[in-house]
Amino acid sequence: MFFRRAKPQVLTLEDRLEKLKGFGIQSKPASGGRVRVYRGECAASLVDQGVEPPRVAECGVIAGDEIAEPWSGGYQMFLATPKGRKMPARAEQMRAIHEFNEDLKDGLGLPSYYNDGLGTTSAHHMYDRVEERDSDAPKKPWEVTTELSEV
């Protein structure tokens, strides 16, 4: 008896999108060669990478024609659109984003990491006590003005 290793099956984007329908996730083409997938109020934008699994570019709540992604303010979670509109995130929205993201990863064959399984993570952070943390160019030491106090 000979044992053969099964050939790995190469899935196309269409195959992966068909698999997502089993999770109740619908899809439609978007601009820039992307595909928008959605379920309920949650949506994500996928970028096709050929034979590799697609990359999830944005994942969040539908806000008009944009996708509002989770944004951590340090004291509260917000939903922010690419055009700069911010709104406070409700617990139901965060729970829906988390469940949608987990189903999306499972359907696309992407790895699901431990910290993602604990709750919704965000790629954008802005803490209220750290000034200019996420600015493009931090100030140089010689640009910082310090005032000397007279004794």
Q: Note the pLDDT tens digit of each residue in 16-67.
A: 889 999 999 999 988 888 899 999 999 999 998 877 888 888 899 999 889 9
Q: How far apart are CA 150 and CA 11, in angstroms?
A: 72
Paired residues of 47 in beta bridges: 34, 55
- This prediction has a pTM of 0.74
Q: How far is CA 70 from CA 60, 64, 116, 131, in A?
A: 7, 16, 13, 20
Reduced to 3 states (helix: H, G, I; strand: E, B; else coil), residue 59 is: strand
Two structure tokens written together for 128: 């209220």
The phi and psi torsions of 52 (rounded to 5 degrees) equal: -75, 160
Reduced to 3 states (helix: H, G, I; strand: E, B; else coil), residue 10 is: coil
Q: Note the pLDDT tens digit of each residue in 81-93.
A: 999 899 999 999 9
